[in-house]
Structure 1
Amino acid sequence: MNSNAKVPARWFDALTQRIALVRQGMKARESEKLEDLKGRIRLVVRTRWLLLCIIGIYCVVAASFFSLSRFGLFLSHSQAVTLAASLVAVITYNLALHRNIVTLSRYFRLLIPLQVILDLLLVTVLIHSSGGAASWFWPVYLIVTIEASFLIDTQRDVWLIGAIGGILYGLLLIMEFWSLVPNVPMPFVAAEIHHDPLYLLLSWLWVALLNAAVAVIGSYFMALVRRESDAVRESEERLASFLDSANDLIMSITAEGRFLYVNEAWQKTLGYGLEEIEVLSFFDLVHPDSKEQFAMELRRAAAGDALSPFESEVVARGGRSIVIEGNLTCGNEEGDQSVIWGICRDITERKQAEEQLYRLAHHDTLTGLPNRILFLDRLQQAKALATRYHHHVAVLFLDLDRFKIINDTLGHPVGDKLLQKVAQRIAGCVREVDTVARIGGDEFTIVLVNIDTIEDVKRVSHKILKSLSVPFTVDTYELFITTSIGITLFPSDGDNIDTLVKKADIAMYHAKGEGRNNFQFYTPQMDENADKRLLLETSLRKALDHGEFRVYYQPKVDVATKSITAMEALLRWKHPQLGLVSPAEFIPLAEETGLIIPIGEWVLRSACLQNREWLEQGVPRMRVAVNLSGFQFQQKNLLDMITSVLAETGLEAELLELEITESVIMQNPDFAVSVLNSLKEIGIHISIDDFGTGYSSLAHLKRFSVNTLKIDKSFVRDVEVNSADAAITTAIIAMGNSLNLKVIAEGVETEGQFSFLSENRCDEVQGFLFSTPMPASEVAGFLREHQKPRREGNGLADG
């Protein structure tokens, strides 16, 4: 690691202590000063021990040399005792300070100058005992002055100590000059110098000036050192204050994860106090999923590697998960323990926001399912895996049948809740590895992965249709919904994901054309139908204005009397290019585009006018039956529109019959009851068309104001050979009779079908056995021909 980046581990410890002191306030500051003073006194005490040892060793060595020399020991007994007593005194008060520094700390302001003065006095005694004016121990005055500058903060007091040292030395020389104290004779030194005023004056001046200079220089340097120390302290305090006031989470840990320091933001975010972190390791807080990654980052930081910002999940108090992002840096010296500092920020909210944004960008906000973007991504992944492992992928395109009716009648809030329930049911029909997406409106898509056979896809499709067949309860409404499903397979139907989705969409429209509530696999022939569909959709918008629609009529025949009870109006479209277009092709388009509303009104008006015209021509009274689309049925102004048409055409209400499919009525039974009651009140005849293909029950039929049940042709077709169809048809007839409802069977094409229906007391029949749909111009002639054999009594041939 770069030496400039190395920070002594001790500095980190000092900073940690400084931060702790800053947190404790003014009392801590006073305590810090006291601790600083204790430290200085301890250092002086240790220095004094060292100095005493040096002096003691020197005295012993000097005495040994002198005792063996021609001079012998020159100190008198009293002088030796004085010298020894002085040394003992120094040892005594130094030992007292050494052992009782904590106890004596309250008296430091008094003890510091006192011990310095004692040192000066004892040095003076030492100088006197070692020769007075001839002694070479006078530099000890300088040591004591340096000691004073180290212990005393005020420069003036240090200068005073220096002056005292000079004064004491001067007094000693004066006392020896006047023989007030005996001189200590020193070898190699003439005795006359103790009484030489000039020598004594120069010696005093030299010692006094040096002592004063040391006092000035020492106090200056110590003041400089203290200023630098205060600056460092203030800097540390500012740094400590900054660290504690920072919004980022700052921590100091060892390479093993043990905490050395955490700032207040860290404590507040994670919920742990200073006492708790002393027994915690950072690894105790790291989420198990992030431990290995963080341990690796810690090792790299301790090794001095350059690190990029890391991201980790930690567990706060109470089990809350917090995501942090930050940097690690290491500070150490050779031989010192590595100290790692980390500065982090809490990015939990940001991560949640990112996840929310991702979810909003890739999921449908209403149902929570993947949206088109995520669906296409999942499909791309499924395609890649299927290519690698030689599996198949199925794409299912679902569109709810007649869902727009629910939105238009019950409102979008109910429609939204229904979509949510539908999404849950569809998702429950597939595996976790599959993907269900909502790509808009009432359209859903599914990706089925790891498909081995087409039967797997059929099984899932049947499961979805069956699941949706169960009624939905939304608020207070019981709703029925079905779906049409188009299916494509990868790789047989294409390699491009957009192509797969487009072809599944085409297959879905083909399923709608097959009567809805079924699924269809894509085939290439459907592309032609798709092109035709586009042409039809474009032309349909102009067909009404261009007069391209025609109304054909097919009779309904009473089984018992063979009389014609009604004519059903059937819409046909004579396209200028395609010729006659089947209603099965263009009616779903008209419903999707909303054009069914004006077209349906035109058919109703045309049929009523035609029936009125027949009456004027003398044709016997009979009803005209008009099919009512589900979209028309759900219109709020339906009743007003019908009464307006009846008034405009002059047709009596009882001569109008409205046919409404069972699935339309059952989509919203409560709403259907109110509408049917209103229509029945004005005298209109009501028939339930395609009966047996929906979900109505006996309980529902009792609520509906209807006159006729019309058995769907899918049951009539095989009543002669299929026992199940025969049983269903028989049950419907029996149920209708028990409820006093007329029962009519459509799609009757053979004598055998007619005989079965007649034997089972079906009221009316309709089908090619009696007549194909015919233009209005042929109806009067058909009725006249029908009446002739009836008058002659020729039985069934009359039909």
Structure 2
Amino acid sequence: MADLSLRASGVMAMERGITSAILSQPDMATPDMLYEMAQQRRNGDELYRVILAVSSELARLSGGAPHHPLRSSLQELARHHEALSSARRQVDARLAGEIVTLDESQWILQATRFIEALTSVRDASTHPMPGNIYSHSTNPIIKDALFNISEYAGRERAILGAAISQQRAISDSEHAMLMRYRDIVEASLERVDILFRQLPEQPSLSTAQAELESRFLEEYQELRLAVYEADRRGHDYPVTAAEWYVQATAGINSVLALSEAVSQHFEASLDKLRNSVTLSLAMVIFSILTAITIFLMAVWSIRHRILQPLQRLEASVNRVASGLLEERFPAFRQDEIGSLAQAFDEMRASLLDDIQRREATEEQLRKFSLAVEQSADSVIITNQNRDIEYVNAAFERLRGYSRDDVVGMNARIFRSSERNSPELYQEFRQALTNGEPFRATFINLGSEGKKYYEEISVSPLYDQSGNVTHFVANGRDVSERIHAEQELKKLNQAIDQSVSSIVITDANGITEYVNPQFTRTTGFQPEEVMGRPSHLLEPGRLPHGQYQDMRRTLRLGRVWEGEIRNRRKNGELYWELTSISPVRNKHGVITHFVGIQYDISERKQMEEQINQLAYFDDLTKLPNRALLAKRFDEVARHAVRRGQRVVVMSLDISRFQLINDSLGHRIGDKVLQAVGKRLTDCARQNDIIARYAGDEFVVILPDAPDYKGIAAIAQRMIESVYRPLGIEGHELNINMHAGISMLPQDGTDLETLLGHATTAQHMAAREGQNTFRFFTEDLNTAAWQRLALEQDLRRALEQESLELHYQPKVDLRSGEVVGVEALARWQHPVEGNISPMHFIPVAEETGLIRPLGEWALREACLQAMAWQSQGLPPLVMAVNLSARQLLQPGLADMVARILTETGLDPALLELELTETAVMARPEETSTLLQELKSLGVRLAVDDFGTGYSSLAYLRRYPFDTLKIDRSFISNITTSADEAAIAQTIIAMGHGLRLQVVAEGVETEEQATYLRSHRCDQLQGYLFSRPLPAGKMTELLAKGSRLRLPAQPSVHGEEVP
């Protein structure tokens, strides 16, 4: 009955596995899988009928045995068989296309309950029947362990089969359940191994055991580990559901085959026992009859010749049995009892000698065991098949595995082939095969995945015949030594391969070492400078003040940094960025100086070029807004001192976009050049003409005449521009309108005066072509409109009706989204969408920028954390800081507070500051940027190239990112000048170790050009416009990437 129950459990487990695989993907079920399911059903039903028949026979043989637990177990089995039949019908209905509530997990649960009912029948079958003396055996214990193996392996087969069929990852709950199943299987395997050691050798058992090791412990184990590894890495499973079922079933069947072999073995043993009992009974009866006859004849002899000596002999034997081996046996006469006593005495002496030698050996073995166990080196002992039999405590500390985890496992589990060369393992295997000692250093992983270096020595152990029986491996963690050697090697390589010149001198400035780059930079060979005073402490062209500062700094034991000019061996002067660091001994005394020098001659040239490009418009060659602001400051200071009037005139070309759209940008560019020249021709000697932006020009009139004279100049400029203009066969009449404001009555700074002049210009544009207007208080209607806008903006902030949109930043090498920029958006209830260009200036002027900026920063940080909580990869969140925010007290504290409140990693926050805002107050800004940088956030300079920053200041600021303004990107593929500016900015940014981002990228050509010139990231409509949070979440969840064809770089290499 127990065997029938076990076989039925195995068949039911196979039906459970194949059915769950089919239910996971009914549409993918093959005919072979459906046939296999039907075949297992038939096998299971047949075994169920046989169980019922055998149970009836057992009831007859035992007289009913009404209280035997088998009766209740069979009743429970019948109830679960009814539920199983119902579940099968639902399976068939689902495969027929009907809608049923049964899924694969419910089916597995029902099938498992039926298997558990069969287990109860099997357990009850091991209880003895009344009068059955043969029912007590170790057979049920072994078969119970084998059943647990097959059952929980079958459950694992079903769960993994469902995951493979659905091509989905194993859930956490399933993974936890599978780990419990595997613990039961491992415990049962260990239990079976112990019990089998107690059984005599039998060919059938050995064959079944070998099949179990081959099919279950090797092939099935390798397959299931491959499935788990594929799930862990997120790869496709290595087998289909059908292949998994077939191979897993083969492994489980080997367990069932071993159980069957055990049953056959115990049946044979019981037959031998029955025959032996029958023969023994006959012999006993015969012996009793013989003994009675002999006893009557020998009583008198036994009493006198045997009983008394035996009593003495018994007393001596009892002393030996109690462990008293020192006292010899008494002497007897020379008969059989005497010989027996002499033999016992020799045995006693032999036992005494064996015990003494064993105690000595045990003491020696105890010392050896303590030495091995307490060794600082890890020790592993394996058999010749490399199955681990012993590990010491040092192994547990080094590897992180407990003794119970690894004993019995094969040492191959520690192989790290991906970290060690195949040649090393080939040499290792060859040494083991030849039985030779082996020693090498391996890169291994501990139980927690931590990499370390281990020096391993493996030695073979031989038996008396000279055959290798075991291997002993001693291991020692040499990670610190290897790391120190690697660090030293890297340091030497870094110094030798550095692109910076490195000079080491003693405390008196005598050169002791120069690296190869020093020779390449200066032209001096090492032997020409070694042992001589170094120019490091006596540089060639250093201003006296800077030289004194360097000497003073070094005397105080501090690091000195600066830019100095030196002379090469050929006499050529060059610029170098120098850092000199004093080196102290353990007593704090300066013993050496280390100088690191970087040739920045090219950068200096680029700075000069950029400074030139930064102040003049490339198209019209007129001053740009940066130079305009600079010259206005000079003019304004002069006018204030002398009480003079300064005029700011804003001129705009009417419908210039129409020219671009109808005649093309080339004609438009020539129109702008012609307008700039005509305005210049009309200007007085000291007047300033600048191209401010697009088709807008600004004229500054120092020492302006009266209103009549100003009006005459404005009219003359408008009329000059209006004269017919012939360009490439087109005759154009250019209309302009102008607005005029004056210092001091309309304002004292350029921004205010330009604002008022622009207001007047807009009024002139509404009144007609070729007109100009002076700014007056009547134009303050616009100011009232701005006031209304301010009130609405304040209300929007209070009601939190603003929102953030996010524009992705894309890595130009991988095409992946690596960050986003948060941009404020305002949907006005009446006016509709209001551009940030309108409400941000209002916020800055009214002080609303502070709550607006704090709100935007908090919302952006919260959104970044929300994306992380949804499982999306961490992104750098960029938030803009305006010029007014930089003047805000406690800005750094506010940023720190928001980071703490939201929990966002500071490294994932990037604060963007415009170039102009940074340079407005360079010293104060430097302090603030240092405070922000100390929080761990990233800093970016925005709109680079449009302001008037000093590159020397930029180098001092702790920026991480440089963003090229979109104005340099739009014509990057068509304008050689703008391309040169972009290239120069990228090179300069990389020279300053900054990440470079291009804004406003709209075409693939622009992106490809930037990519070929090593720009790091892009941002623009080519990839995505700014998106609301929901749309941005969808884009990130899809894993969208920017795909660009490979392009040759400027060095001829292919950019991936």
Task: Pick the TM interval, shorter chain.
Answer: 0.3 to 0.5
Q: With the length of structure 2 as denominator, give the TM-score of the two structures.
A: 0.29
| Structure with more contact order per residue of length (Cα contacts < 8 Å, sep ≥ 6) | 1
Q: With the length of structure 1 as denominator, give the TM-score of the two structures.
A: 0.38
Which of structures 1 and 2 has the bigger CA Rg? 1
